[in-house]
Structure 1
Amino acid sequence: MPPAHPSITRRPLHRRALDVQVFARDDGLFDVEASLSDTKSHDVPLAGSTRKAGDPIHEMQLQLTVDAQLTITAAASDTRWMPYAPACGEHGDAYARLVGLNLMKGFRQAVTDRLGGTQGCTHITELCQILPTAVIQALAGSVIDTREGDAAGNPPYQLDRCHALRRDSATVAQFYPRWHLSAAPASTAS
């Protein structure tokens, strides 16, 4: 992506990298491995020492196991690089509180309720927020039916969840005609 102001010289300061990988297991479950890392392009003083350029400020991982309905059956976290060692990593098994949550049903708010603020690590809790769409994307078309909807007659999950897939859009009319909603007719004044 080109810079917003191409005539201005820029220098990198900070990079946050997020990574989510999803694996199918032989037992029908799915493992989710998510990570967050922060690095600086320059040395920075940090908690009484100096963190060298390129060494992580943060490097955290979250591992989940989910079933085909996207309910979390196991969860754990690991903090490998942190600014305030060992305190940053001393949240114990706080992320085990994710077990029982469903990625498609109120997950983000439940994470905030269970792990927001001082109940967990700010960065791992933020990492949780990207998991629903990442896991849905991983399972779309194979585990999650993205064409026909569910057994109760509801439309596919992704419809009405973004601008392009509004049920009254041309995209839905073309690719999901069964689920397309025509625009409501204009009312006529009498």
Structure 2
Amino acid sequence: MPAAPSSVPRRPLHRRALDVQVFARDDGLFDVEASLTDTKTHDVPLAGLPRKAGEPIHQMLLHLTVDTTLTIVAATSETLWMPYPGACNEHGDAYARLVGLSLMKGFRQAVQERLAGTRGCTHLTELCQILPTAVIQAMAGSVIDTREGDAAGNPPFQLDRCHALRRDGETVAKFYPRWHLTPAATAS
């Protein structure tokens, strides 16, 4: 979708599809399946071979298992389609380095420290960046209390994390009145 309606004819060239699914397991843990797929609308040569329009350029998967605190307890990756077979998929099980990380605290920075550049795959590392908000969304209201805050008296985690949920804003006043802060008086 263009930023503004276009009056100029256009044609699609490339599509990147991201998908994250979260599953509750019977043992109390949660499986996260994330994928990144790139396709083109035209044939392209890759590693000296033709890749047909519509065939994936990249199709990569991350498989995580997380606990109720959103700490990763198992992680692996899979590369199904890639530009350079035998090279792109030879990063070993680099994404096992995600084990022990919390999706709630410092995850994105820790991913960069452990997997950026030649330590991992650019596309899988990029896919990691969307995991915190996707998994939190899956858990919100069931595993994560989004109404009352935590036992230490802190407000629900989502407040003050976006413009709509500013603690001094109308949305918080209406839907989270306990946590609303009166806006500071503006200086004249």
Instruction: Normalising by structure 2, report the TM-score.
Output: 0.97
Identify if the C-alpha distance between structure 1 residues 10 and 186 changes in structure 2 by more than 3 Å, giving closer, same or farther.
closer
Shift of 1:45: 1.2
Residue matched to 2:10 = 10
Residue matched to 1:155 = 155
Shift of 1:133: 0.2
Letter in 1 for 2:89: G
Letter in 2 for 1:65: T
Shift of 1:7: 1.3
**1:85-127 CA distance string (max 9 Å, x none):** 1100000110000000000110000000000000000000000
Residue matched to 1:70 = 70
Q: How is 1:63-102 mapped onto 2 (pairs within 5 angstroms)?
A: 63-102=63-102
Stretches of 4+ aligned residues off by more than 3 angstroms: none
Residue matched to 1:107 = 107
CA distance in 2, matches of 1:89, 1:6: 39
CA distance in 1, matches of 2:59, 2:137: 24
Letter in 2 for 1:22: V
Letter in 2 for 1:116: A
Residue matched to 2:37 = 37
CA distance in 2, matches of 1:74, 1:44: 36
CA distance in 2, matches of 1:119, 1:187: 51
Letter in 2 for 1:107: F
Q: How is 1:156-175 mapped onto 2 (pairs within 5 angstroms)?
A: 156-175=156-175
Identify if the C-alpha distance between structure 1 residues 3 and 9 changes in structure 2 by more than 3 Å, giving closer, same or farther.
farther
Unmatched segments (≥5 aa) in structure 2 = none
Shift of 1:47: 1.0
RMSD, matched Cα? 1.2
Shift of 1:6: 2.6
Work out the percentage of aligned pairs sharing the same amino acid.
79
Q: What secondary structure is seen at the aligned counterpart in 1 of 2:39?
A: strand
CA distance in 2, matches of 1:86, 1:165: 47
Unmatched segments (≥5 aa) in structure 1 = none
Residue matched to 2:51 = 51
Q: What secondary structure is seen at the aligned counterpart in 2 of 1:171?
A: helix
